Amino acid sequence: MLDPNLLRQQPADLAVQLRETRGYDLDADALAALETERKQIQVRTQELQNLRNTRSKAIGQAKAKGEDVAPLLAEVAGFGDELKASEARLDVIKSELDAIALGLPNLPHESVPAGKDESDNVEQHRWGTPRAFDFEVRDHVELGARNGWLDGDTAAKLSGARFTVLRGQLARLHRALAQFMLDLHTNEHGYEETSVPLLVNADSMQGTGQLPKFEDDLFATAVGESKRYLIPTSEVPLTNIVRDEILDDAAMPLRLTAHSMCFRAEAGAYGRDTRGMIRQHQFEKVELVTIARPDESYAEHERMTRCAEVVLEKLGLPYRRMLLCSGDMGFAATKTFDLEVWLPSQDTYREISSVSNCEAFQARRMQARWRNPATGKPELVHTLNGSGVAVGRALIAVMENNQNPDGSITIPEALRPYMGGLDKIA
């Protein structure tokens, strides 16, 4: 959520910023009209409330003296209906203003390039050289099916499209990747391993920006009157740990990691990457979340991105870092780096990690704060999140970049301790 002062005091300027950087159309005139009405009704409501309190006190004093209170009661009854109507209208206006505020995306950091889509993203650097193959490259689906490891047909029978069953050594390799990432981030990068719920309430989804805007992309469950959502990423529960909290300065920065299932309905994405494991309804990620002091969040953003890069380097996977343009960033982000891994079958780089600084956007929705020792007062924290990295896409990249002519897959050295010492699966 953006600073409310921007909406109240600079709606026209905010509308220009959102249109130019995010392609978002904010009706500044309607917002200003609502805000003007809110102020007028709030002032009148307070006047009526004060008048009611004054008259109630006068009625009590008149009764104590044995005086006739009928005129005072009639006066109170006369403005009572207006007070009720004013309070009801004020609630409606506040709800409308809240709905507008919750629907506004974050504003880009000044270092973010302007642009409309991924074609305007800016490459920062590359690592590794894509392998030159002297045989016909197979994609991960063919490699998996050839060995009986990847079974989309059975998954479709069990659950429908965009699910996958993994078997045998490929299932083990998938597990090994997650274990390797967790060990790396906890032992070398200083993150605290955390196990989080896969089902969360609406407040948690709203806190990180999934609700109300992206409800169609979420899976939800209902038992009786209780509705909960399957997490699209463990960013949601990890970040909401600090919702409605005031953290001590000594706890900052708070660095958390979790390996979890993730669930996305992918509404509107049909026809894109439907083959194999690129875009699934259910997948796994090792997530990184940091709760940071505001003046340290951009240094933390670089650090967090580097933590994800180390995963790919230790796996020997060529990648590039991209700075996303203003039109390609996520709803809550103010600055985002994407890491894109090389996929030989597609002869291109594909996203495997997205690392974002949200500044105070999520914290304001969650009322997540820390006590600044310089002032002694609570202030909003900055929140950051990123994949460290997506397990399924890492599996795809390992399979394709390390395939052999006979269909076997060479295991990266970093994963061999997790594979019982195997150097190859076939």
- 226 annotated as ligand-binding: no
- 264 annotated as ligand-binding: yes
Q: Annotated catalytic residue: which of 38, 264, 321, 364?
A: 264
Three-state DSSP state, 166: strand
- 193 annotated as ligand-binding: no
354 is catalytic: yes
- 340 annotated as ligand-binding: no
Three-state DSSP state, 66: coil
Would you tell me how many other CB atoms lie within 10 Å of the CB of residue 98? 12
264 is catalytic: yes
- 265 annotated as ligand-binding: yes
337 conformational bin, left if phi > 0, alpha if psi -120 to 50, beta if neither: beta
Name the nearest CA neighbour of 155 among 247, 33, 276, 18.
276
293 is catalytic: no
Q: Before 253, cis peptide (omega within 30)?
A: yes
- 228 annotated as ligand-binding: no
Q: Annotated catalytic residue: which of 255, 303, 321, 393?
A: 393
Q: Annotated catalytic residue: which of 351, 365, 369, 400?
A: 351
- 235 annotated as ligand-binding: yes
- 45 annotated as ligand-binding: no
Q: Annotated catalytic residue: which of 204, 297, 345, 354?
A: 354
Q: Annotated catalytic residue: which of 55, 126, 279, 416?
A: 279
Residue 261, strand partner residues? 284
- 359 annotated as ligand-binding: no
Would you tell me how many other CB atoms lie within 10 Å of the CB of residue 133? 14
- 297 annotated as ligand-binding: no
Three-state DSSP state, 355: strand
- 351 annotated as ligand-binding: yes
Residues 294, 360 contacting (CB under 8 angstroms): yes
Annotate 263-305 with DSSP letters as a single string.
Answer: E---TT-TTSS-STTSS-SEEEEEEEEEEE-GGGHHHHHHHHH
Would you tell me how many other CB atoms lie within 10 Å of the CB of residue 173? 23
89 is catalytic: no
- 287 annotated as ligand-binding: yes
Q: Which residues are annotated as a binding site for ATP?
A: 264-266, 351-354
Q: Which residues are annotated as a binding site for L-serine?
A: 233-235, 287, 387
Q: Which residues are annotated as a binding site?
A: 233-235, 264-266, 287, 351-354, 387
Active-site residues, by number, are 264, 279, 351, 354, 393
